[in-house]
A and B are shown apart, each in its own frame.
Chain A
Amino acid sequence: MVSTQLLLLSPLIAPLAAAAFAALGRRWNGVQRAVTIAALVVVIAAGVLLVVESLSSGVVSTVVGGESSLTGIALTADPFGAALVAAIGLLAAVVTATMAMTGDDHSPFLQPLMLVLIGGASGSFIAGDLFNLFVFFEVVLIGSYVLLVLLGGLPRLHAASVYVTVNLIGTMLLLTGIAGVFAATGTVNLAQLAQQPVVESGAMPGAVLVVLAFTLKAGLLPFSGWLAVGYPAAQRTTMALFAGTLTTVGVAALYRVVLLAFDGSAVLRSGVLVVAVATLLLASVAAVAAKQHGRVLGLLIVTQVGFMAAGFGLGTVAAVTAGVFFVLQDVVIKAAAILAYRPLGDSPVPAGGVRAVALTGFALLASSLVGIPPLAGFVGKALLVEAAFDAGSVVVAVAVLVASAATLAALLPLWWHVSGRGDTEPGSGTSSARLSACVAPAVAVAVAALVVGIVPGWLLTVAEGSAEVLVDPAAYARQVLGS
């Protein structure tokens, strides 16, 4: 099964190897860009192939560097993880395109660090056991620490110290939880854990700690303070990258660990659901109240995490389908919204066609975040509300609707800010050429959001296939361990 192994390894090895090459070739910007683009193409292609493969013939899995799953490194790609690999690759491509077109990639370590982030993220999506999940999480985090402080400056260092400390505490929680699970069950392999009932095997205390740690890293409510401080401190493109990657990695880990490894334990799910509802309500209201626009965007990212987590907290097939659909479209759209907003909001832009296109793009992306039809975000939220009503959780449905309304209210001041400042004289602020370079990739994403919103069928197929695997841990274990 060499080809399977290669397919599963390529989204890990390509970005990490490319990061090394890009760091070596840091004096030649062209080399860096070429290497980055090549690695991202590999990531996206591998993600798409894995989605097709896992949808048609079940979970793709392999064990690297050992004969059994005990000593080797288990990699498993369920449709959800595979689709996320492709989505994260797409996100990185959008960010890279923005950096290349604006020349913001002048800092020689920006692209290598981004590649490390992407390699770690795709590793965490296809990691087959808890401990490798932890390792890939750390790869992502160390990349993000450095990206955050790359530019220096006291406020940024201050934000970074908060961010790093909180995440290190999360790491310690995660390790403690993994130790607890391992002591109780003797394994950390997701598929082997799926075969053991979580309560009877005594793994519950460890499981709670693991879930708590992922909740922290996803930025759900009791721990979301670091996110709204840390993200706005980052550079524009870096913030978009963080928004798409870091919270997604946490949420994806929650999906796979709670639903598969801890076999959808009702206690854990309802715990996450309560946190998700609280996040939806409080973060969205806080976003309405926030004054600085960076903080508004940071809090809206937290709100989006609430939507993602609500889907799997409910646990029904329909709700998980909705959640998966929401996560997949949100990864790219959220980041593109930030990419489109910052050049418009940071400085005055001259009136004209470019500005109109940029504003339209931002309006589309923002509408998708709010959930206005016919955009991609609407489909995800409509499915989520429907699933919540079907599952009998009116509270969740209401929370989703309230949070969407609050998102709209929070985004309106940002819209007024960017749309009401066109009447500056030409020559000041950002030039039209630079603006078009800044927002072109984001506008492309806006068009894609529109297309997905009108023709959601294919993405829905992926989401349904993912949900079928995620809600059936026994079948997952059979497919992984049987192969």
Chain B
Amino acid sequence: MSAAIATGALAAAGIYLLLHGSLVRVVIGFLLLQHAVNLLLVTARSPQREEAPILPATVPQDPLGQAFVLTAIVIGFASVIFLLALTLRYVREARAAGPADRNSSAVGDTPREGGDHASW
């Protein structure tokens, strides 16, 4: 029950933050959402499993859920680091480009390779 409430609260806060345009909020929102999903994964137990998979157990337990969360945390961690690096670089380049360019890049969704091909 408490896990369900925590998952819901984390997911709600995460999605709320994701809906904001700012990249920093997106990163934080993604972090919260990530934790919501991790909580879901660890509480999603297989029907055959009765107790936590800690030895010595009376019957061999299914450690799959724990393995999932561990992997998901690692992958989420890598994604967050990439997002933070992306945010940092974005902010730096936007500052270097100045306010005019920043506005134009936010409106136009047609990134260009540079050079003379105007129609690209």
Whether B93 lies near A172 (C-beta < 8 A) is no
Whether A165 lies near B18 (C-beta < 8 A) is yes
Whether B90 lies near A175 (C-beta < 8 A) is no
Whether B62 lies near A157 (C-beta < 8 A) is no
Whether A293 lies near B68 (C-beta < 8 A) is no
Whether B106 lies near A158 (C-beta < 8 A) is yes
- With an 8 A cutoff between CB atoms, is B12 at the interface? no
Whether B62 lies near A70 (C-beta < 8 A) is yes
Look across to chain A and name the residue whose beta carbon is closest to the beta carbon of B23.
A161
Whether A161 lies near B90 (C-beta < 8 A) is yes
Inter-chain contacts of B28 with A (CB < 8 A): none
Top 6 closest pairs, chain A to chain B, by CB: A155-B111, A186-B46, A183-B44, A233-B111, A179-B44, A346-B117
User: In residues 162-212 of chain A, which contact B (Cβ within 8 Å)?
Assistant: 164-165, 168-169, 171-172, 175-176, 178-180, 182-188
Query: Which among B64, B72, B82, B83 is the interface contact of A175 at CB below 8 angstroms?
Result: B72
Inter-chain contacts of B102 with A (CB < 8 A): 154
Inter-chain contacts of B47 with A (CB < 8 A): 183-186
Whether B86 lies near A160 (C-beta < 8 A) is yes
CA distance A14 to B105 in the complex (A): 40
CA distance A153 to B34 in the complex (A): 29
Shortest Cβ distance from residue A12 to the other chain B in the assembled complex, whole angstroms: 16
Interchain Cβ contacts under 8 Å between A and B, 18 examples: A70-B64, A153-B114, A154-B94, A155-B105, A156-B111, A168-B79, A172-B37, A178-B68, A183-B44, A183-B47, A184-B47, A185-B46, A186-B46, A186-B48, A187-B46, A292-B110, A345-B119, A347-B115
A-B contact count (CB 8 A): 134
Shortest Cβ distance from residue A216 to the other chain B in the assembled complex, whole angstroms: 14
Whether B40 lies near A179 (C-beta < 8 A) is yes
- With an 8 A cutoff between CB atoms, is A85 at the interface? no
**0/1 string, A120-151, CB within 8 A of B gives 1:** 00000000000100010010001001100100
Query: Which among A131, A153, A233, A417 is the interface contact of B71 at CB below 8 angstroms?
Result: A131
Look across to chain A and name the residue whose beta carbon is closest to the beta carbon of B65.
A182
Inter-chain contacts of B45 with A (CB < 8 A): 183
Look across to chain B and name the residue whose beta carbon is closest to the beta carbon of A149.
B86
| New A-B contacts (4) at CB < 8 Å, excluding given A164-B86, A186-B47, A186-B48 | A154-B94, A154-B102, A155-B112, A186-B49
Shortest Cβ distance from residue A478 to the other chain B in the assembled complex, whole angstroms: 22
Report if A186-B62 is in contact (Cβ < 8 Å); known contacts: A152-B89, A233-B111, A346-B115: yes
A-side interface residues, number (CB < 8 Å): 51
B interface residue numbers (CB < 8 A to A): 18, 23, 26, 30, 33-34, 37, 40-41, 44-49, 62-65, 68, 71-72, 75, 78-79, 82-83, 86-87, 89-90, 93-94, 97, 101-102, 105-106, 108-117, 119-120
Shortest Cβ distance from residue B75 to the other chain A in the assembled complex, whole angstroms: 5
A interface residue numbers (CB < 8 A to B): 70-71, 131, 135, 138, 142, 145-146, 149, 152-161, 164-165, 168-169, 171-172, 175-176, 178-180, 182-188, 229, 232-233, 235-236, 291-295, 345-347, 417
CA distance A184 to B45 in the complex (A): 8
Look across to chain B and name the residue whose beta carbon is closest to the beta carbon of A295.
B110
Whether B120 lies near A172 (C-beta < 8 A) is no
Shortest Cβ distance from residue A285 to the other chain B in the assembled complex, whole angstroms: 19
Whether B90 lies near A157 (C-beta < 8 A) is yes
Query: Which among B33, B41, B82, B106 is the interface contact of A164 at CB below 8 angstroms?
Result: B82
Inter-chain contacts of A294 with B (CB < 8 A): 110, 120
Inter-chain contacts of B63 with A (CB < 8 A): 71
Whether A153 lies near B93 (C-beta < 8 A) is yes
Whether A168 lies near B119 (C-beta < 8 A) is no
CA distance A187 to B46 in the complex (A): 7
Look across to chain B and name the residue whose beta carbon is closest to the beta carbon of A130.
B68
Query: Which among B41, B68, B75 is the interface contact of A138 at CB below 8 angstroms?
Result: B75
CA distance A345 to B18 in the complex (A): 37
Whether A154 lies near B48 (C-beta < 8 A) is no
CA distance A296 to B116 in the complex (A): 18
Whether B89 lies near A157 (C-beta < 8 A) is yes
Whether B71 lies near A135 (C-beta < 8 A) is yes
Whether A154 lies near B105 (C-beta < 8 A) is yes
Report if A158-B90 is in contact (Cβ < 8 Å); known contacts: A180-B44, A182-B44, A345-B120: yes
Whether A142 lies near B44 (C-beta < 8 A) is no
Query: Which among B18, B68, B83 is the interface contact of A131 at CB below 8 angstroms?
Result: B68
CA distance A161 to B85 in the complex (A): 11
Inter-chain contacts of B93 with A (CB < 8 A): 152-154, 157
Shortest Cβ distance from residue B54 to the other chain A in the assembled complex, whole angstroms: 15
